[in-house]
Structure 1
């Protein structure tokens, strides 16, 4: 129970920090993101224990009430915020890292219907995914990358890159970035070495 209340506190503070519209703690309980992710964690536990029908039932009820569809098999990190949320779809083998921000209409989808393999994208920590973006297939979006609104991403995106367009191309990558995570207690660290920009 103590862990549950710690989780609730972290989620509430996360939403208050990431959405300047929040006027009170009570208001957070009206956010679709809060309920979608909370109930996804319940469904994910059930899914991992092979209670597949019950897990899918919860995810479908959440979809009906919030407009956010997260497959119970998807792995969602800490402090993920789905802003507005309507039309968001996250597939079965998708993985979403800590501190990711997802806007409405985003799809983390597959490009095939094969079973028992990784079909959906892996999203690194601190990534921002703009409204309407589609990230398809078992690709990797690196830490702190930004995906532009309505982009269709079909290839890996390196850390700290900005990708836009259809199909998405990297238009910017930071050579130096000041990063502070909640797990770092003593100041910030500067990351200056990244992989080269891929050729699309």
Structure 2
């Protein structure tokens, strides 16, 4: 398990037991070590992979990242004031470097967000999302076509 994910898990466990100050201390350590803000308040599922140890990643505390997602460097999952809420990434979503997902929106399961895309509205499942503002460039994609490493075996259930 990656160090940033380990720190998040500890912070999340402390946050859940009402040890908010200790949780924030671990968040600060994560910020110093990895230049990343992955607060314990956020909800992050199993097998989430942060490329390059989550360098420059900023995640809103109200964000939800479901299982088997991949997050590239310098990705922002943020809020959009005065609207309350944060992004929700469905299972198996891949977010490439520099992408910004802003506001209380949902990215459908098995979607791919291209590098430097700015997503400000809900996106359907199994879609390729690109541009600023982001639009759906292709639908009905297979996430396996976009995973070329060991993580794709986790999706298939072939890995131990």
The structure-2 alpha-carbon separation of the partners of 1:46 and 1:142, relative to structure 1 and needing over 3 Å to count, comes to: same
Structure with higher Rg: it is 1
Q: Which residue of 2 aligns with 1:89?
A: 58
Distance 1:44 1:185 in 2: 26
Distance 2:137 2:157 in 1: 33
Structure 1 distance, partners of 2:143, 2:72, is 24
Alpha-carbon shift at residue 185 of structure 1 (Å): 6.2
The aligned runs of 1:149-188 (5 Å cut-off) are 149-174=115-140, 177=142, 182=154
| Separation (CA, whole Å) in 2 of partners of 1:145 and 1:185 | 19
Which runs of structure 1 show a deviation greater than 2 angstroms over 4 or more consecutive aligned residues? 177-186
Q: Give 5+ residue unaligned stretches, structure 1.
A: 1-10, 12-33, 187-200
Name the residue aligned to 1:131: 97
Higher relative contact order (CA 8 A, sep 6+): 2
Distance in 2 of aligned mates of 1:126 and 1:86: 20
Change (3 A) 1:174 1:62: same
Q: Under a length normalisation based on structure 1, what TM-score does the superposition of the two structures give? A: 0.69
Aligned length: 150
Taking only aligned residues, the RMSD between alpha carbons, in angstroms, comes to 2.1
Residues 114-129 of structure 1 mapped to structure 2, 5 A cutoff: 119-129=85-95
Deviation at 1:48, TM superposition (A): 1.4
